Amino acid sequence: MSRIKNSFPPREELERLIDAHGHLTIRATPNAGANDIRLPADGAPAVLNVRTTVTPEDGKANDAILALLAKALGRPRSALTLVRGATARDKVVLVTR
């Protein structure tokens, strides 16, 4: 079995998407083929696309998404809190500094 590779954009690009209140808006895609974080296209709303291979069952996908974001941002997992969207694809994450 091959290892699942993670693909992350530069940390500085991700941090630009965090608003003044520390909120980061994401669009989640569970059951993806690979773990991946994609920046929004130029001119598009500032919504980060996060893909994870984990199934959305019992909050496992949310935990995987927060772990991916923490790794990409270079912060501990405890610095991220899901504020809105626990059962939705559109989510808001609070990033403490």
Residue 7 has pLDDT above 80, yes or no: no
Residue 1 has pLDDT above 80, yes or no: no
Strand residue runs (E) in the chain: 6-7, 23-29, 35-38, 48-51, 80-84, 90-95
Q: Do 31 and 57 contact (CB within 8 A), yes or no? A: no
**Sheet of 90-95: strands edge to edge?**
6-7, 35-38, 48-51, 23-29, 90-95, 80-84
pLDDT in tens, 52-87: 999 999 999 999 999 999 999 999 999 999 999 999
Confidence band (pLDDT; 50, 70, 90) for 48?
Answer: very high
* Helices (runs of H) and strands (runs of E) counted in the chain: 2, 6
The H or E element containing residue 86 is none
| Cα–Cα dist 89/96, whole Å | 22
pTM across the whole model: 0.90
